[in-house]
């Protein structure tokens, strides 16, 4: 059962591969940007991996956008999703920092900042 103790690890083996974890445009766009930046310093093999990731992210972006536009996801649901994703990514960030996985922590930090900024902007509307 889910008793006390430490929360389950958020960052598993497939943390970055699992695109289902990403539910919001803010995080999709932040990760596209991260991948694009990473490509500039990457070797050929990594470049193709990042390229594939960007393609997948762009498809995800289209899917999220159409879900919102078609009304499958309401604005309230979207904001709730953004908040939930933010909490999860904050925990992931904490784990990565604890494990001294600096590059990955930087990547997740970009996701966290993107979501926080979006939520602040929504609150200001």
Give the model confidence (pLDDT) of 68-103 as tens digits: 999 999 999 999 999 999 999 999 999 999 999 999
- CB neighbourhood size of 31 (10 A): 24
Instruction: Give the confidence band of 38 by pLDDT, cuts at 50, 70, 90.
Output: very high
Closest to 52 in 3D by CA, of 35, 73, 72, 30 = 35
Total-model pTM: 0.87
- What pLDDT shows up at residue 101? 94
Instruction: Give the confidence band of 20 by pLDDT, cuts at 50, 70, 90.
Output: confident
- What pLDDT shows up at residue 2? 45
- Rounded to 5°, the CA angle 29-81-91 comes to 80
* Whether the Cβ atoms of residue 5 and residue 45 lie closer than 8 Å to each other: no
Instruction: Give the confidence band of 7 by pLDDT, cuts at 50, 70, 90.
Output: low
Rounded to whole angstroms, what are the CA distances from 106 to 11, 25, 86, 99, 111?
14, 19, 15, 13, 9
- What pLDDT shows up at residue 125? 67
Average the pLDDT over 1-30 and give the result: 79
CA atoms lying within 13 Å on the CB side of residue 46: 9
């Amino acid at each position: 059962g889910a008793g006390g103790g430490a929360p389950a690890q958020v960052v598993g083996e497939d943390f970055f591969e699992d695109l289902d974890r990403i539910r919001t445009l803010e995080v999709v766009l932040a990760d596209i940007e991260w991948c694009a930046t990473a490509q500039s310093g990457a070797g050929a093999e990594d470049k193709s991996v990042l390229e594939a990731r960007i393609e997948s992210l762009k498809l995800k972006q289209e899917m999220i956008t159409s879900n919102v536009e078609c009304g499958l996801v309401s604005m309230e649901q979207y904001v709730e999703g953004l908040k939930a994703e933010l909490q999860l990514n904050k925990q992931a960030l904490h784990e990565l920092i604890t494990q001294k996985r600096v590059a990955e922590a930087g990547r997740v930090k970009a996701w966290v900042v993107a979501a926080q900024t979006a939520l602040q902007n929504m609150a200001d509307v």
